[in-house]
């Protein structure tokens, strides 16, 4: 990475760190909501980027993990169990288990079949939660009390929830960075570009990919756990297949296989949605056209555009 | 369980299967021949329903509405192919998924702009609105029978087109080796445009047929698209025969599962457990079926031989 890119990152990091103060000065509390949403969804996008960008596994069912994480807040809260550690444990464990079970089957397939089977499993999760009438079914569930960490942090405060999310994002980025630069990451990238060669080198790529898939699922579950706390309302709609499509769009928009690409993509998507929906009710039309144009003409995403303008080579 | 109900549920399943086949035929051809994943295929279903409803209300005749909506769908298909889809045939699946996801947004908001957020429906002509006795003691709506008949006719027509005509020969050749077909002097680009538009028309017809039953609404293509994808994956991508069989199986399993799964589960579970789990399992049945089939046959039931 070039020098200007380092400075941009540092500036962006500082801006995120000071955001609640700045928002306090200009007295626009709504912006805190917006930026919290960006940070939380970035974690999901970073996890999708791990399997998609580095591992070449195009998951079209990633929103299922968000939903599992969110319901890990909602269902215990329904029974008045607000322990944050317990809920977080359920979120990570549930998402991890779902990733393990579905991954065992999904990773047997390649290409278009992998896209479709991840979609199918996400649909199964979607319909499972739709049919849970006890927890609101289609209509969803309101979370009255956010996860509790007595004496540590108070999530009822928007600023504290924001900082927790930011810390989680930093952790996710650090984890992905370490993973892809380890031997494990080399095997994952090798399996994407030439599986047969990795096999003949003696690597059991299936196992590596499965572990990678489970890690990504758990990271995304963490994002869902934060999102459930943030929105205080959960419904199966969170894992609708169009949500998975949007997540894919965000990752590709930012640039697949770039560490900070997903954060960039999520920011552009959410800010774009906010600005456009303020201008016209038909903002989705503009969004759709942009999406098509990005695919047709701006290959490599925003991240690579920035890198190119920064140092002159990709 | 009484037998008259079983027969009408079987017919309902058949009707869903026929609709799914109309959608799946185009999708599987486009994916099998041009190697293009078209998530916007459900949008053609929606646009077909809106166009047919509009023309029918305008001309006060369902038949004229259908006859006008079909060429209009052809136009929609051709324009979509020329503007966007054609440039994506050589791209990877991720690009195609994203671009066609963009197309869904464009189609949905265009429909929103033209027809507004509310749905659109029309009343069937009196002839089609009644019930008819299909078996002694079994009454079934005439119109639903008509849908089954039309669907089966289209399936037959498609079979004849692909298996017995020159164009069909080119389509099959194109599926096996598009580069070679192009090298032999066939205008492969026009052939691709035609196949894509044919798929759009078939999906549109499915929408036109369902419009008087459910009404045309934004997002109606969203859910059926996923079921259609399940159908073509089960049937084997590129195989029309496979998608016909898979559409019937999925249609029947989905319909019968929703009606009888709770009774079946009661044989092994307690009454209460059966009644709470049946709705969840029945909406998941087709996805479970797909996962099981892909586990054992990653290429689907009838993968085309020549690839």
Which pLDDT tens digit goes with each residue over A39-59? 999 999 999 999 998 988 999
What residue in A sits closest to B102 (Cα-Cα)?
Answer: A288
pLDDT of residue B1: 55
Percent of chain A with pLDDT over 90: 42
Contact A285 B113 (CB under 8 A): yes
Asked if pLDDT for residue A93 goes beyond 90, the answer is: yes
Which B-chain residues 147-186 have CB contacts (< 8 A) with chain A? Answer: none
Question: Within 13 Å and on the Cβ side, how many CA atoms surround B285?
Answer: 19
- A104-108, B123-127, B166-170 — which is least confidently predicted? B123-127
Residue B244: per-residue pLDDT: 93
Mutate to test the interface with B, among A51, A110, A120, A134 (most CBs of B within 10 A): A120
| Helices of type H across A152-260 | 158-180, 183-193, 195-200, 205-231, 241-254
% chain B with pLDDT above 90: 38
Does B108 have pLDDT greater than 90? yes
Query: Of A307, A254, A263, A264, nearest to A6 (Cα)?
Result: A307
Q: How many beta carbons lie within 10 A of that of residue B184, not counting itself? A: 11
Whether residue A123 and residue B287 make contact (CB cut-off 8 A), yes or no, is yes
pLDDT higher than threshold 70 for residue B98: yes
Residue B274 has pLDDT above 60, yes or no: yes
- Whether A314 shows a pLDDT value over 60: the answer reads no
Q: Higher model confidence: residue A222 or residue A257?
A: A222
Chain A residues near residue B112 by CB distance under 8 angstroms: 281-282
Over B268-283, what HEC string results?
A: CCCHHHHHHHHHHHHH
Residue B280 clears pLDDT 80, i.e. is over it: no
Rounded Cα distance, A259 and A224, in Å: 20
pLDDT value at residue A308? 67
CB-CB contact of A143 with A225 (8 Å): no
Q: Assign A38 a pLDDT band (cuts: 50, 70, 90).
A: very high
Neighbours of B163 (CB within 10 A): 12
Looking at the complex, report in whole angstroms how far the Cα of residue A292 sits from the nearest Cα belonging to chain B.
5
Q: Which residue has the higher pLDDT, B108 or A2?
A: B108
A119 vs B contacts (CB less than 8 Å): 226, 229
Question: pLDDT band at residue A8, thresholds of 50, 70 and 90?
Answer: confident
Q: pLDDT digits over A176-209, tens only? A: 999 999 999 998 888 888 888 888 888 888 999 9
Residues A103, A111: Cα–Cα separation, whole Å: 14
**What residue of B is the nearest CA neighbor of A130?**
B280
CATH of A8-311, one of 1.10.1070, 1.10.287, 1.10.3470, 1.10.150: 1.10.3470
Give CA B9 to chain center in angstroms: 20
How many CB pairs (< 8 A) connect A and B?
123
Distance from CA of B221 to the nearest CA of A (A): 12
Instruction: Measure the CA–CA gap between A143 and A118, rounded to whole angstroms.
Output: 29
Query: Which among B37, B95, B279 has the least Cβ separation from residue A112?
Result: B37
Q: What is the pLDDT of residue A176?
A: 95
Q: CA A279, CA A287: separation in Å to the nearest integer?
A: 13
**How close, in Å, is residue A222 to chain B by CA atoms?**
25
- Cα-based angle B127, B133, B134 (whole degrees, multiple of 5): 110
What value does the mean pLDDT take over residues B186-207? 92
Q: What is the pLDDT of residue A2?
A: 57
Q: Which of A146-150, B50-54, B112-116, B206-210 has the lowest mean pLDDT?
A: A146-150
**Does the structure's ipTM exceed the value 0.95?**
no
Q: Quick one: pLDDT at residue A310?
A: 53
Higher-confidence residue: B283 or B203?
B203
Contact (CB<8Å) B102/A290 = yes
**Per-residue model confidence (pLDDT) at position B307:** 44
Domains of chain A by residue range = 8-311
What per-residue confidence (pLDDT) applies to A312? 41
Averaged confidence pLDDT in chain B = 87
Residue range(s) defining the domain that contains residue B83:
3-296
Residue B244: which CATH number? Answer: 1.10.3470
pLDDT tens-place string over residues B49-87: 999 999 999 998 889 999 999 999 999 999 999 999 999
Interface residue of B41, B97, B224 to substitute, partner A, most A CBs within 10 Å: B97
Question: Minimal Cα–Cα distance from A263 to chain B, Å?
Answer: 18
Burial annotation A160-187 (CB, 10 A radius, 16+ → b, else e): ebbbbbbebbeebbeebeebbeeeebeb
3-state SS, chain B, equals CCHHHHHHHHHHHHHHHHHHHHHHHHHHHHHHHCCCCCCCHHHHHHHHHHHHHHHHHHHCCHHHHHHHHHHHHHHHHHHHHHHCHHHHCCCCHHHHHHHHHHHHHHHHHHHHHHHCCCCECCCCCHHHCCEEEEECCEEEEHHHHHHHHHHHHHHHHHHHHHHHCHHHHHHHHHHHCHHHHHHCCCCHHHHHHHHHHHHHHHHHHHHHHHHHHHCECCCHHHHHHHHHHHHHHHHCCCCHHHHHHHHHHHHHHHHHHHHHHHHHHHCCCCHHHHHHHHHHHHHHHHHHHHHHHHHHCCCCCCCCCCC
Residues B203 and A216: their CA atoms lie apart, in Å, by 36
When comparing pLDDT for B306 and B237, which is higher?
B237
Could you give the number of structural domains in chain B?
Answer: 1
What residue in B sits closest to A301 (Cα-Cα)? B95
Q: What is the pLDDT of residue A37?
A: 94
Percentage of chain A exceeding pLDDT 70: 96
φ/ψ (deg, to 5) at B173: -65, -40
Residue A3: the pLDDT is 62
Q: Which of B92-101, B106-115, B159-168 is modeled with the greatest confidence?
A: B106-115
CA distance B298 to chain A (A): 6
User: Stretch A68-79: mean pLDDT, rounded?
Assistant: 92
């Amino acid at each position: 990475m070039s020098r200007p890119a380092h400075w941009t990152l540092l500036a962006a990091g500082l801006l995120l760190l000071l955001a609640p103060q700045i928002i306090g000065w200009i007295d626009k509390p709504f912006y805190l909501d917006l930026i919290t949403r960006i940070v939380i969804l970035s974690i999901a996008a970073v996890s999708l980027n791990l399997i998609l960008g580095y591992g070449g596994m195009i998951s079209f069912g990633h929103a299922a993990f968000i939903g599992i994480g969110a319901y890990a807040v909602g269902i215990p809260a329904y029974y008045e169990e607000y322990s944050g550690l317990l809920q977080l444990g359920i979120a990570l464990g549930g998402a991890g288990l779902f990733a393990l079970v579905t991954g065992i089957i999904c990773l047997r397939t390649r290409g278009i079949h992998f896209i479709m089977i991840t979609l199918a499993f996400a649909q199964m999760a979607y319909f499972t939660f739709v049919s849970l009438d006890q927890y609101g079914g289609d209509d969803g569930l309101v979370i009255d009390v956010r996860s509790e960490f007595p004496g540590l942090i108070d999530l009822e405060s928007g600023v504290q929830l924001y900082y927790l999310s930011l810390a989680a994002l930093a952790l996710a980025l650090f984890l992905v960075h370490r993973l892809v630069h380890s031997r494990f990451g080399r095997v994952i990238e090798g399996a994407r570009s030439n599986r047969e060669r990795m096999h003949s080198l003696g690597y059991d790529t299936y196992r590596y990919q499965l572990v990678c898939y489970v890690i990504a699922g758990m990271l995304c579950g963490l994002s869902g756990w934060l999102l459930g706390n943030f929105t205080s309302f959960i419904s199966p709609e969170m894992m609708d297949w169009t949500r998975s499509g949007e997540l894919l769009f965000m990752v590709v928009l930012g640039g697949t296989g770039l560490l900070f690409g997903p954060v960039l993509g999520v920011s552009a998507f959410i800010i774009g949605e906010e600005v456009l929906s303020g201008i016209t009710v038909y903002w989705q039309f503009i969004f759709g056209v942009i999406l098509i144009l990005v695919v047709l003409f701006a290959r490599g995403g925003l991240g690579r555009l920035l890198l190119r303008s920064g140092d002159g080579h990709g | 369980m009484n037998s008259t109900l079983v027969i009408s549920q079987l017919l309902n399943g058949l009707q869903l299967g026929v609709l799914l086949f109309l959608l799946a035929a185009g999708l599987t051809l486009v994916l099998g021949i041009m190697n293009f994943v078209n998530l916007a295929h459900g949008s053609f279903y929606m646009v077909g329903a809106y166009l047919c409803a509009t023309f029918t209300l305008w001309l006060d005749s369902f038949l004229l509405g259908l006859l006008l909506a079909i060429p209009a769908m052809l136009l929609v298909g051709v324009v979509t192919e020329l503007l966007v889809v054609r440039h994506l045939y050589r791209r990877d699946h991720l690009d195609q998924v994203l671009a066609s996801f963009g197309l869904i947004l464009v189609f949905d908001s265009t429909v929103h702009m033209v027809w507004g957020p509310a749905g659109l429906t029309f009343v069937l002509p009196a002839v089609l609105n009644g019930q008819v006795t299909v078996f002694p003691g079994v009454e079934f709506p005439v119109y639903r029978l008509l849908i089954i008949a039309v669907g089966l006719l289209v399936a037959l027509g498609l079979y004849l087109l692909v298996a017995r005509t020159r164009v069909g020969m080119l389509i099959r050749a194109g599926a096996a080796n598009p580069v070679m077909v192009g090298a032999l002097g066939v205008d492969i680009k026009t052939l691709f445009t035609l196949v894509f538009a044919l798929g759009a028309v078939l999906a549109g017809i499915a929408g036109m047929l369902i419009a008087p039953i459910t009404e045309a609404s934004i997002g109606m293509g969203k859910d059926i698209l996923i079921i259609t994808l399940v159908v073509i994956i089960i049937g084997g991508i590129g195989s029309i025969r496979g998608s016909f069989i898979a559409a019937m199986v999925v249609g029947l399993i989905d319909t019968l599962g929703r009606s009888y799964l709770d009774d079946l589960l009661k044989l092994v579970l307690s009454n209460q457990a059966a009644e709470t789990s049946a709705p969840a399992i029945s909406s998941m049945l087709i996805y479970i079926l797909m996962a099981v089939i892909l586990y054992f046959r990653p290429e689907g039931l009838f993968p085309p031989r020549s690839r």
